Structure 1
């Protein structure tokens, strides 16, 4: 299968290697880029850390090297990055921010505070879930996702003159950007590929036409999307 990957460059290359190992042809067209913000962490007494993206791990590791406090990771990719960065107690949620809140509620006493290393744009789901559990949340914005707009020549070069079989859409930003790309350059995506979306929330950012060609992960994992490729 020819599979289009829209993630930022470093993550896209990792995904491309995984797809190639499975016998597929990865096509890398980043529609977003991560920028580190460089702000220092807030002061306070934190019982644990939370990360909803692997982008947040490096700033956490720099500020709190080899820390033994729990780090709640949104999914296995973020957890793997945290382990590689030296965190000693990494606990993995089910791929969604509300899963982190459930883990924290089961692990921490009411009144404790978590340091959440976050992106500048976020849903607020984790903060709300922690508040409901009686756990404090100090938000530390450590990265921002900047949308990219490749030109027509770049898109044609990546696609090799024909539409991909599948497209991996792993964030709302990717879904929005891909929908815009299809509107701006419909000739490059005819026939429409099958969109493999990581969650129903992400799929809602697609156009109605693209949603008719979309399959949604049952468990919000990249592995489940790979399984559909065969």
Structure 2
């Protein structure tokens, strides 16, 4: 199958390699770029760290190299990035940011505070979950995601004359960008492709006609999305 990838370039290249290994044809059209922010981490006696995106791992590792404190990761992909960056005690919350609060409350000392390495644009899911669990949270913004708007010539060159069979949609920003592309170039996305979506929250950002084509990951992982491709 011909599968359109909308991730930022480095992540798109990794995903393209995985798709190729599975016998699919990746079409890379980055609709996001990632900026690393340079603010220093806040001061504090933090019992642990939390990350909800692999984009946050490298800045955290630079500031706290080989740190032995627990690191709570939202899912296995982020956890793997943290282990590869040298964090020895990585604890996985099962794919949902709100699960980190319960996991932290169950495993950290009472009245602990976590340092959350976060994106500039985010939901308040993790902060709310930690507050409800009675765990303190200090937010350190370490990256920002910016939209990319390719021109029509670039889009048509990437899809090479016919609509992709599938599109990977891994963030709300990508969902919004895909909807914009389909409105601007309806002929390039006709018939509408299968839309492979990482979560219900992301699917909710799609317009109705794309939601009807959506297949949602059962465990918020790329692997489960690949299974829809056959």
Would you say same fold, with TM above 0.5?
Answer: yes
Map Cα deviations across residues 27-76 of structure 1 (whole Å, 9 max, x no partner): 11111111011100000000000001111011100110000000111111
Matches within 5 A, 1:2-151: 2-151=2-151
> What is the aligned-residue RMSD (CA, Å)?
0.8
Q: 2:212 corresponds to which residue?
A: 212
Matches within 5 A, 1:164-203: 164-203=164-203
| C-alpha contact (below 8 Å) 1:130/1:137 kept by paired residues | yes
Structure 1 segments of 4 or more deviating over 6 A? none
Q: Unpaired segments of 5 or more residues in structure 1?
A: none
Task: Quote the Cα distance in structure 2 between the aligned partners of 1:112 and 1:82.
Answer: 21
The alignment partner of 1:127 has SS state of helix
Q: Unpaired segments of 5 or more residues in structure 2?
A: none
Q: TM-score under structure 1 normalisation?
A: 0.98
Task: Quote the Cα distance in structure 1 between the aligned partners of 2:69 and 2:85.
Answer: 14
Task: Quote the Cα distance in structure 2 between the aligned partners of 1:7 and 1:98.
Answer: 24
The alignment partner of 2:228 has SS state of helix
